[in-house]
Amino acid sequence: MVSLKKGRVAWRLALFCFPALLLAQTPDTPAYWYAEGLRNQQIAEQSFARLQSANPTSPYVAALVADTRVQRRQYRSAFFFYNEALKQLPGMHGIHAGIAEVYRKTGHADWAAQEDAREAALPQPDCKLHAAECEFLAGHDAAVVKAAATTPEALYWRAKAANELALQAFFRLGQLPESVELHKLRAEIARGQGQYLEEAQEWRAALAIRPADSELQRGLAVSLFLAADYRAALEAARGLPHTPETDFLMGDSLLRLERPEEAIPHLKAALARDPKLLAADASLGLALARTGKAAEAIPHLVKALALDRDGSLHFQLAGAYRAAGQAEKAQAAMAKYQELSKRDSEAKEEAAREAQIGPPR
């Protein structure tokens, strides 16, 4: 097993110390490496989707979810999913290493050392039975991606290998001079980590290079909206081409700024362009209710109930029913609100208990 692990480490050292290895027969431009990274990300996402579709509770799904949570700095959640995967796949390479990374990121160096030791002690896999795992550990990512993947195990390693190739492409992008593509990548990473103000800074830097790009302007508007800077989001969205997303962003921003009358036309426009945009139905229902149009609000709130996880929409619907003189329906909606609210609180408490980061088991 030592030789396989050294192969993976050696490949990474070659990548970071000698990036020219990647340049043979490829255009060395920001646009190329950005597109190459996105292409491999898409392969990874497709492999994950196939795994999840076949078995959402698969340990391979749990392991990939854990990897994603680490990237997003959601360490408690990552710890939970790695341990779920470990219950069914105790001998698979990478899981102990993932747990070790969680421990390091959360200040438990001693526990991390124990998990690293467990990872190092894993026996060499049978390469006839676990060909994709062997190829991945040897650093042959491109071969893993190109190989047919029909089993859950093969799809798992294909997703891992495609992610590695994406990282290699994005690393090369980071070595090139400043570019729009580099700032877009940094913005996307910041969004994945929930760092929306940092994301906005990257969109602004990209716009300094390419000021007339509506895609970059839209990215800035969305990041400001997610950062709850609704005034700035409105300003950034002005002049953008009308799409369901931009109409919703402007309407919902106005609603959150307590300007429901102004919000209504934008939200109606969003639904005219995309009648399936339930978030716009929810916002339009709230805006109509706040302007005294309870009867008009009700159908939009009812349509949006599929989004309700914590009962908040049922609470708003109950208020609209009361204002419209439909006391029985208001009572039923309020009862549903209480049920969902209680269930949501219990689920959060249970998740918090499960996701506590404890010592190695």
pLDDT tens-place values along the chain, 361 residues long: 333 344 454 434 334 444 444 555 568 899 999 999 999 999 999 999 999 999 999 999 999 999 999 999 999 999 999 999 999 999 999 999 999 999 999 999 999 999 999 999 999 999 999 999 999 999 999 999 999 999 999 999 999 999 999 999 999 999 999 999 999 999 999 999 999 999 999 999 999 999 999 999 999 999 999 999 999 999 999 889 999 999 999 999 999 999 999 999 999 999 999 999 999 999 999 999 999 999 999 999 999 999 999 999 999 999 999 999 999 999 999 999 999 999 988 887 876 766 688 899 8
3-state secondary structure of 58: coil
Q: Is residue 163 domain-shared with residue 249, that is, in the same domain?
A: no
CA-to-CA distance for 161 and 167, rounded, in angstroms?
Answer: 10
- What backbone phi and psi angles, to 5 degrees, belong to 316? -65, -40
Q: Is residue 69 domain-shared with residue 165, that is, in the same domain?
A: yes
Q: Within a 10 A sphere around the Cβ of 187, how many other Cβ atoms?
A: 26
CA-to-CA distance for 231 and 254, rounded, in angstroms?
Answer: 8
Residue 356, pLDDT score? 81
Residue 350, pLDDT score? 76
CA-to-CA distance for 109 and 107, rounded, in angstroms?
Answer: 6
Q: Is residue 37 domain-shared with residue 128, that is, in the same domain?
A: yes
pTM of the full structure:
0.84
Q: Is residue 53 domain-shared with residue 193, that is, in the same domain?
A: no
Q: What is the CATH number of the domain that holds 251?
A: 1.25.40.10
- Name the residue range of residue 211's domain: 189-238
> Which tokens go with 237?
């969205």
In Å, what is the CA distance from 352 to each residue of 72, 174, 193, 349, 360? 17, 37, 19, 5, 18
Q: How many domains does the chain have?
A: 3
In Å, what is the CA distance from 182 to each residue of 79, 167, 194, 223, 333? 30, 13, 18, 17, 48
Q: Is residue 207 domain-shared with residue 329, that is, in the same domain?
A: no
3-state secondary structure of 280: helix
Does residue 182 lie in a domain region?
no
Residue 5, pLDDT score? 42
Q: Is residue 246 domain-shared with residue 222, that is, in the same domain?
A: no
Residue 348, pLDDT score? 79
Residue 229, pLDDT score? 98
